[in-house]
Structure 1
Amino acid sequence: MDSFLVLHKLILLLVIFLTCNYVQSQTPLAKPNKPSAIFVFGDSTVDAGNNNFIKTPMKSNFPPYGRDFINHIPTGRFTNGRLVSDFIASYTGVKDIMPAYLDPTLRIEDLMTGVSFASAGSGFDPVTATLSSAISLEQQMEYFKEYKSKMEMFIGNEKTLDIIKNAVFMLSAGTNDFIVNYFGLGEPITQFMYPNVTSYHMLLFQNVEQLIKKLMNEGARKIAMVGLPPIGCLPEVITLNKDVAINGRKCVEPMSYVATEYNRILESKLKAMQTSETKLYYADIYKPILDLIQFGKTKLGFQEVNEGCCGSGYIEAAVLCNMNSAVCDDASKYVFWDSVHPTEKAYYYVFTIIRPVVDMVLNDYKN
């Protein structure tokens, strides 16, 4: 009789165990209170080192880049330390820093919480990436599809789709389309095809819309897009301006106006594209970077606002910023690290200004 009772209890426990597991498997996953992952697409402002693994002159995996990064390692980030995307990942609690997707040392745990597909030199115009031998946005999208396939193999379709559905997608590009392509190396052909800036804006917006729709089709439900900085205030643009000898090192206002018009239309288009299922967010970096340049010396603790820390401060970037270049002693006194890219301190300031947008995204997970 005792044996019968013991057997009966064991059978009962087994039934309860199987029933609970079945119910759990049929119950939808609880809504997270933070993003499941962060996926980043774009250019050097968010490239965590993908260009280390391709043939391109646009690399920064050597000193003095990374001088103030963790363990003073040059990771391929185009600055002395961390990027805005790193600060966002840390602030949201997703991960400490964003890894590069092409890094062969990444573990499954790293992939699960998101990666950066960005490539320095890229842009929304495919020609822009070609000029720098960078990874185009189209190819970055293909890498994301490859990522999905890998994850489905490791953790299954359902969990992969759940990660993507609850992730944040961040897009940061467009500057190279103007300073490298339209007004730079690609100028003769690109300006022939698009004789005014407005027509080129339309091309870029068409490509932006296509990219966003592709992300939606892949399951993206929260997409944040960064606008353009005041491109006329970048040290390289100032230096190459023909009137710099007359006017001194001042922002090239017509170039910055191109960015303001782009940002105005972009914000409007993102609002129009938003659906009941997918939320689109616009992050303005124009004003915080302009504030750094206009008030950096007087209010924000910087000593140099229109020359880079690395090199002469004029046109050095990528391979032209190296250990043979003159490098300032304290990058935290500079807004720009090289002729194009901000310092870690400047990036952190930008992050603090756009943090309300990040908080808005986080609130959407709680509501």
Structure 2
Amino acid sequence: MTDNTSNHHNNEAGAGDRDRVIGTPSPSGSDAIVAGTTEQQRGHDGPYPAEETHGHSEEEQRRGEKVAAVWFTIAFLTGMGFVVAFFLFPPDSISDPRMGQYSTMALGGTLGLALFAIGAGMTVWARRVMPHYEVSSPYDELPSAPEEKGSFGQFFMKGADESGFTRRPLMRRTLLLAMAPLGIAPIVLLRDTGPLPGDKLKHTMWEKGMHMVAEGTHRRLTAADLETDGSMISALPYSEPTAEHPHGLSLNEQAKTSIILIKMPAEDWKPGMTEQQRNWTHDNIVAYSKICTHVGCPAALYEQTTHRILCPCHQSTFDAANGAEVVFGPAHRPLPQLPITVDNEGYLVADGDFSSPVGPTFWDAEKGE
């Protein structure tokens, strides 16, 4: 009879423990988050036996706090080292192979060590300061009762207290100190973005009076080089060759300034060609950018009978007799036109820069954005 009464009492206690919401006081009156926890021993009210969980003594927690603080201090120092290295090696140092190597090693090494030290400190914190126990919660009917909802605040604060974040100021302060340089890092990295481009995307090196040469040569072109109707020549601005750039232009400059010159029969101009566009031609020779306005491929195929300029990449097609308007394909705007004329010696020269930004339509050409 005594055994049955004892078993019935134990069953009722177990049922009460299983139904208790996490964060509410246990039937025993303990104020710990989990039933059975003490300062030295953290238990739980889940289905696992108490001996499978354990806590840390105050002395163990203090040692863990000091070790974690050392790691966080290392993270702060190496994080500051990253900031110093960033300003010690200027952005243009990568052009020098030796300086570029030192810059990469300094920046990568300090940032990597800072992140590793923070991770190591957090690991020590979790393993040697925070208590270890299993937490289980039965499935309750929704919605929760008001008293169960109100227990969350108590549960949260007790969890913060057990984590050591509120009770271990040394560890907390060194962690915040370690995170400070990493918060600054994205700000100082903005220096590498350089100044805003302004209107640079809308202009090239073409300017009034600049001679043009056949692509791949240094021979300046004249109108006589396109004497036959339907003639087409790829050209570039003339620039004195140097040891670094034997053709006179860098690859980037060539990509931006490359043009095609087309000799158009006078009777083939279409009404859509404005008076200004006609004034930008010389002796029925018109110049368009060679760079397709779709994704920047060279639009260098020309069909004489239809006056169509074709980009071979995605078949964007432009009408050379109508201001290089798009007649087919994914391009959304015409090829920019280069105003041309001749100098006193009869050489073809630019009469200014392109009529619109060169290259793919990555921005609104009308607004210059």
Q: TM-score, normalised by structure 1?
A: 0.25
Q: TM-score, normalised by structure 2?
A: 0.25
Q: Which has the higher contact order (CA 8 A, sep 6+)?
A: 1
Larger Rg: 2
Higher helix share: 1
